[in-house]
Structure 1
Amino acid sequence: MAEAGIREHKKDQSVRKILKAALLVFSTQGFNGARIDTIARKAGVNKAMIYYRIGNKQALYQAVIQDIYQDRAVQLRREIQSSTTPEEKLDTYIASVATIMDAHPHFTRIMIREMVSGWTNFGPAIFEEVSVTVKIVQAILDEGVEKGVFTKTDPLAVHTMVLGALILNHLTQPVKPQIMAALNTSEAPSDISGFNKLVPQVQRLVVAALRPEAYPRKLQDVS
């Protein structure tokens, strides 16, 4: 099925079941290890339906990734509209990425697998979806530079920095109690679950790093 067709029908209950099952299988078994038969069983549909409604394994993988990126872009645009200052918009962007990631915990494992494999299974359509989010970040940073609250910075660097912090947080959840114990901290593991403490810290650090006063004049001139 063409990309436009997938977007048109993705609210269909059968398609939603297929995408949800595929996300789980791809995240646990990787692209090469995933089988359409397995995804069909988990989705409770006939294998032929997947081929008819979406396409082959590569098309299904692309559909899963695009579905999440499209949802994030729509949510991000909607939430940014209620923010006023560049700082608030940047905070909203970070919180929105965390919310989407929390809603799709298996997506982080797919991203890690792709990083390790050299992004071999990401096609042009997926990178186009990624660029939509980066363009949103670019607009926020440009506004911040224009208003004198941010120094000029590569939007992709900011985007990957935020993603890296949130993805690694997800992946280290199982060992956080051991890390906290090794640090000899009095903070209870339950107090650091999820994004309830991480997101405000990432927001504060990113905004602070973008302030013009955080950089010597020489570095600002280079950027």
Structure 2
Amino acid sequence: MADTTTRKNKKDQSVRKILNAALLVFATQGYNGARVDAIARKAGVNKAMIYYRIGNKQALYQAVIHDIYQDRAAQLRREIQSISNPEEKLKTYIASVAAIMDAHPHFTRIMIREMVSGWANFSPAIFEEVSVTIKIVQTILDEGVEKGVFLKTEPLAVHTMVIGTLILNHLTQPVKNQIMAALASPESPSDNKGFDQLVPQVQRLVIAALRPAGVKHE
């Protein structure tokens, strides 16, 4: 039994090394430019192990994306389960998206590449995983409309607004810091806020855009 557990742990560690290396290589080289040889070298494993544990390059790419998305929807459902306020639920969703980017900083580069390519390398299974999150957003928006705190809006439009804003800000943080420094004056020194401090601003702007005229913030 102990030997079986040890072998399983070694297998899990090998797969984790492969996925981490693949994430970095796909982010920097793109899907077409990435090579399984380079991923194997980065992971410190034999190329044959990648094919044996996961599969070819396409299977490896899907595994990397799935590794990031897996269980996210279930976790989001758990987080909003005890929240009765639709605005707070939407804030939790936005924070959840930001947390993915914070936990996997190279993932934003993959997403940008996919946007430019028209999502050419995303499989139907990945789109299905993404759609589960959008269905949760739909439920939050419907509840907000019912309670009179949100305008009726397409969930995909909200999801795209949140994803696009957070990805762009995540990738351009160093440039933003330089711009803010250039705009600073002795009377108004630069305040280089990190990505985590951007989240409340995105939450506030998205909710303000969804709020009907005359409805005040709770």
Normalised TM-score (structure 2) = 0.87
Match of 1:64 in 2: 64
CA distance in 1, matches of 2:19, 2:95: 24
Q: Spell out the pairing of 1:1-223 with structure 2 (5 A cutoff).
A: 12-184=12-184, 186-190=188-192, 192-196=193-197, 198-213=198-213
* One-letter amino acid of the counterpart of residue 195, structure 1: D
The size of the alignment, in residue pairs, is: 204
1:176 and 1:189 in contact (8 A); partners too: no
1:208 and 1:214 in contact (8 A); partners too: no
Q: After TM superposition, give the deviation of residue 105 of structure 1 in Å.
A: 0.6
Structure 1 window deviating more from structure 2 (134-143 vs 62-71): it is 62-71
CA deviation digits over 1:2-59, x for unaligned, max 9? xxxxxxx9x9221111111100000000001111111111112211111111110001
CA deviation digits over 1:98-136, x for unaligned, max 9? 111100010000010111112111111111111011111
* One-letter amino acid of the counterpart of residue 194, structure 1: F
| Inter-CA distance 38–139: structure 2 relative to 1 (3 Å threshold) | same
Q: Considering only CA atoms, is the larger Rg found in Structure 1 or Structure 2?
A: 2
CA distance in 2, matches of 1:92, 1:43: 34
CA distance in 2, matches of 1:146, 1:126: 31
CA distance in 2, matches of 1:108, 1:119: 14
* One-letter amino acid of the counterpart of residue 209, structure 2: A
% identity of equivalent residues: 82
* One-letter amino acid of the counterpart of residue 194, structure 2: S
Q: Secondary structure at the match of 2:55?
A: coil
* One-letter amino acid of the counterpart of residue 80, structure 1: I
Structure 2 unmatched ranges of 5 or more: 1-8
| Inter-CA distance 101–22: structure 2 relative to 1 (3 Å threshold) | same
1:19 and 1:64 in contact (8 A); partners too: yes
